[in-house]
Structure 1
C-alpha cells in the first residue's frame, strides 16, 4: 500500500502542477517584468521536456530499474520547481520549468511499473483505476488550488510547496520494490485524466468472460533490446524542441528572421530523420509500422485531436480571464472547473457506453463533435460578459475530451498483438503528448501575432497576451485580444472537425470489431493531459465471449 500511496501522490502532484501553473502566469509576468514568448515558455518548456523525454525514460527504466527512474524523476521535478521558486528572472524560471518537465517524464514513466510490480490480479486493476482517478482529480483541481495559493501566498511559495511534495514522493519511493531488468515484471501505462479502461467496472473488476493474455514483460523486452537508441532520442528531442522554439519565437523575432527560419527548417528535418531511423533501426523507440492499420491510425488521430481541442484553452484562457475580466488567480482557476471537472467523470461514461453496445465509432465521433462544437461555441467570449456565459462551451469541450480519453487507448490497443502492446502505447501517447506541446506553443504564437497586427507595437501586444491591459486604451486592447481569440477558436474548431471527418472515414466498418466490450485494457500516464510509459497490458475476450463482442462491431 505504501508503493500505491507514493505513486498516487506523485501523479496528483504532477497533474496539479501541470494544469495549475497556467493561472499563475499573470502574476509571474508582473513580478518578473516578463510578457509574450518569454512568459509562454514557463508552460511550453515544461510540456516540451515532459512529452519528448517520456520514451527515453521508459527505455532507461527497462534497462536500469523503474524505481530508480521514478525516484530520480521526482528529485529532478522537485529541484526544478524549487529553483523556479527562487528565480531572479524569467529566463532562469523558463530553464527550471524545463528541468521540472524532465523530472515529470521520469516520474510518469516509472509510476505505472512500480504499481504493476506491487499488485496482481484484481488488486492491480483497482490500483491502476485509482491512479487514473487521482490524475483526473489533480487535473481538475489544479487551477483552482494553485489559483488560491497564488492569491494568498504568491506563486513562489506555491512552487515551493509543490517542490516539497516532490521531495516527499522521492523519499517515499525508496520504500517501493525495485523492478530490475530481466525480472519479468509486467508493466502498464495509465492516464492522469480520470479515465478507466474500456470494460473495467467502477469497482475495478473485469467483466465476466474476459481474461488477460500474453502481456509482454520487462524481462522479455530487455532481452531483445540490449541498448538504448540514444541517437533516435536525440533526434526526437532536438527536432520537437527546435520546431516549438521556431513557432514560439516567430511573433517576437519575426517569422522571416534567420533564427526562426533555421529552427522551423531544422526541426521538421530532424523529426523526419527520426522517423527514418525508427523505420531502420533494430531497437526503435517508436514502431512506425503501426500506422499501416487504419483503425489504429484513426484512434491515434482521435487522441491527438481531442488533446488539441482541450490543451489550448486550458493553458491560455486563464490569462484572458485575469487580463480582460479582472479576475484574480483564484477566481480564474475556479472558472476553469467548467472545463476540467468533466474530464474526471466523462471517461466513465465513455466506457459504459461501449459495454452497453454503443459502437466505438459513434462514441468517438460524438466526442470530437463536442470538442469542435465547444470551441466554436466559445466564440461567445466577450469582455465583461462573465465566465458563467462560457459554462456551456467549456462543459462541451471537457465532456468531449473526457469521452475520448475514456476509450481511445483501449480501442487503439485492440488493433495490435500483445507482443507489440508497449511500443503501441508509446507511439499513441507520444503523438498525443507532442501534439499537446505543439498546440500550446502554436496557440500562444497565434494570439501574439494576431494582436500584434491589430495594435500599435509588438511590445504592447506581448503585454496584452500576457494579461497586462492598462492605460486609457484598455477597452480597445481588450476588444483586439478578444477578436484574436475568436480567430484562434474558429481555427481550432475547424481542425478538430477535419480530424473528426478523418477518424470517421478511417473507422468505416470492416471484418475486425473495434469495440469489443471489456477488451484492450491500456491506459497511459500523461504529461498532464496524456502521454505514456512504454508499457501496456492487453486484454482479450475468451472464445465464448467473442461472438457476443463481435455483434457490437462498427
Structure 2
C-alpha cells in the first residue's frame, strides 16, 4: 500500500496532464504487444520471401526480445536520473526507426538488425512508461491504472495476430511493420506534451554497471540461443556463456561497490533480493510470460502448416487465448480493491496456465478451433487475471524516486523470459523436424511442419507443453511461499531504501 508522501508526490507529478500521460503510455503498451504477436504470424511469409531458415528467421522475434530485455533495466534507471519522459521519447524514436527499417529490409540479416534496434527502443518505452504511471498514480487509482495497462497489453496481444494476419494475406508482411511505424510516430509526438518526471536527486550515472549488465545479459541470452541450435558444449555456446558469466559477476561487484561508496546510484540495488514479497511478484511475472510465450509465438505457424489455415485465420484462432487477456485485468483489479489477496490471484493464474498447457497436449493436425477453445481460453484467463496486478503490487513497494529502476527490473524479467522461452520452444520444434528432413529445408516448411512431417512437429509440441506445465506448477508453489503473509513487507517510507528489511 502506498504511503501518504507517495500519494502527494504522485499528484504533484501527474498534475492536470495525468490523463495525457496515461493515454500515451497505453498507446505504447498497445503497439508493442501487437508488434510481437503479429510478427510471429508473419514468420512463414518472411521466411519464404527472404529465403531464410532456422535461427536467422527466429531472430526476427528472438532478437527483439533479447535487445528489449538487455536494455530494460538500464532504461528504467536512466529514466529516474534524466527524466522518464525523455527516455520514453528516445525509446519511441528508436522503435519507430527500427520498425521502418524492418519494413524496408531485403535481407534477413538486415531485418534482424532492424528488429534489434526496435527492441532497444521498446525497452525505453516499456520501462519508462510503467514508471511514469507509478509516479503519477497511487493507491486504488494505481491499481485501476495498471489494470488498464494490462487490458491494453491484452488488446494488443489479442488483435496483433488478427490484424497482422489480415495485412499479410492482403498486402504482405511489410505492411504490418509500416502500420506499426505510423503508430510509433503518434506515440513520439504525444511524448512531447507529457509532463516530465524524475528522481529528486540525480547522482552520478553507474556507467560501469550499465555496460557490464547490458553486455552480460545480451551474451547470456545469445548463449541460450546458440545452445539450442549448436548444443550446450559447442564452442559457439561455451564462449559467450563464459563471457556472460564473467561480465555478470563483474556487474554484481560493481553494484556492491557503488552501494558501499555511496557515490552515485546503482543500476540495480542488489538489496532488492532481501524482500521476499518483491521477489514473489518477480517470480510471478516470469511465470506469466513463461507459460504463454511458446503458444503465442508458434501456434499460428503450426496451424498454417498442419491445418492449412491462412495467416488471418490462424490469428483469429489465437483470439481464443488473447481475448481473456483483454477482458480479465479489470476484474483482477476490482477483486484486489475489494479485499481479495493479490497473491491468491497470482497463484491461481499460474495454476490456470499450467492446466491450459496440459490441456493443449490434445493438439493434432487438422484440429478444429472448437477443440482449441478450452485450453486457449484457460491459458488466456490465467494470464489476464493477474496481468495488471503484478506491476501495481511490485511498484507499490518502492519509493517514488526509484520506480524506474524497479519497473526496469520487472520488465527485464519479462523480456528475458520471452527471449528464453521463444528460443527454447522454437529450437525444440525446429530440431524435431530438421532431424528428419535435414537442415536445408526452407524455414516455412520447417516451422509449419509441412511436407508430411506434421506428426513429428506435433510430438515435439507435446513434449514442450508438458515441460511448461511442470514449470508452471513449480513456479506457483514458489510464488505462494514467497508471498505468504510472514514474508510480506510494508511499503517503505518516502526517502528510505525500499530494499531494507522491515519488521
| Residues 359, 247 of structure 1: alpha-carbon distance in 2 compared, 3 angstrom cutoff | same
Pair 1:482 & 2:464 matched? no
Q: Who is 2:105 aligned against?
A: 87
Corresponding position of 2:92: 74
Q: Distance in 2 between matches of 1:490 and 1:384?
A: 21
Displacement of 1:305: 1.2
2:258 aligned partner? 281
Shift in Å, 1:315: 1.2
1:457 corresponds in structure 2 to 438
Match of 2:76 among 38, 58, 76: 58
Shift of 1:375: 0.9
CA distance in 2, matches of 1:152, 1:65: 42
Q: Any gaps of 5 or more consecutive residues in structure 2?
A: 1-18, 260-264, 493-497, 499-503
Q: C-alpha separation between the residues in 2 aligned to 1:357 and 1:259? A: 52
- The CA distance in 2 between the partners of 1:349 and 1:125, in whole Å, is 11
Given that 1:243 and 1:267 are in contact with CA atoms closer than 8 Å, whether structure 2 keeps it comes out as: yes
Residue correspondence of structure 1 range 136-215 to structure 2 within 5 A: 136-174=154-192, 176-177=193-194, 179=196, 185=197
Aligned partner of 2:326 among 324, 332, 344: 344
Alpha-carbon separation, structure 1, partners of 2:402 and 2:92: 29
Distance 2:443 2:169 in 1: 23
Q: Describe the shift of the 1:342–1:129 C-alpha distance in structure 2 as closer, same or farther (beyond 3 A).
A: closer
Q: Give the direction of change, closer, same or farther, for the CA distance of 1:82–1:262 in structure 2 (3 Å limit).
A: same
CA contact (8 A) 1:26 1:468 kept: no
Give the one of 205, 227, 230 matched to 2:207: 230
1:295 match: 277
**Given that residues 79 and 404 in structure 2 are in contact (C-alpha distance below 8 angstroms), is that contact kept between their aligned partners in structure 1?**
no
Distance 1:401 1:122 in 2: 21
In structure 2, the CA distance between the partners of 1:353 and 1:450, relative to structure 1 (3 Å rule), is same
How do 1:99-498 residues align onto structure 2 when only pairs under 5 Å count?
99-112=117-130, 130-174=148-192, 176-177=193-194, 179=196, 185=197, 218-220=198-200, 223=201, 225-282=202-259, 283-413=265-395, 421-453=403-435, 455-460=436-441, 464-467=445-448, 469-470=450-451, 474=452, 477-498=453-474
1:152 Cα deviation from its structure 2 partner: 0.8
SS at match of 1:372: helix
Structure 2 distance, partners of 1:23, 1:96, is 18
Cα gap change, 1:117 to 1:34, in 2 (>3 Å):
same
Q: Which residue of 1 aligns with 2:16?
A: none
Distance of 1:139 and 1:56 partners within structure 2: 25
SS in 2 for 1:459: coil
- 1:34-45, aligned counterparts within 5 Å? 34-45=52-63
Q: Distance in 2 between matches of 1:411 and 1:121?
A: 10
Kindly indicate whether the alpha-carbon contact (under 8 Å) linking 1:45 and 1:101 is maintained by their aligned counterparts in 2.
yes
CA distance in 2, matches of 1:119, 1:505: 29
Per the TM alignment, residue 287 of structure 1 is displaced from its structure 2 partner at its CA by 2.1
TM-score normalised according to structure 1 size: 0.77
How many angstroms does 1:271 deviate by? 2.7
Residue 29 and residue 62 in structure 1: after superposition, are their counterparts in 2 closer, same or farther (change >3 A)?
Answer: same
What is the alpha-carbon distance in structure 2 between the residues aligned to residue 121 and residue 481 of structure 1? 48
Cα distance in 1 between the residues matched to 2:124 and 2:402: 22
Q: Closer, same or farther in 2 for the Cα pair 1:25/1:292, shift >3 Å?
A: same
1:335–1:387 contact (8 Å) kept in structure 2: yes
Post-superposition CA distance 1:26-54 (Å, at most 9, x none): 11011111121111100011111122212
Q: Distance in 2 between matches of 1:298 and 1:404?
A: 13
Seen in structure 2, the aligned counterparts of structure 1 residues 409 and 467 have a Cα distance that, compared at 3 Å, is same
Following the alignment from structure 1 to structure 2, what is the Cα–Cα distance between the partners of residues 511 and 83?
Answer: 48
| Number of residue pairs the alignment of both structures matches | 470
> How far 1:55 sits from its partner (Å)?
2.2
On the 8 A contact 1:293/1:415 being kept in 2, the answer is no
- Larger % of helix: which? 2
TM-score by length of 2: 0.84
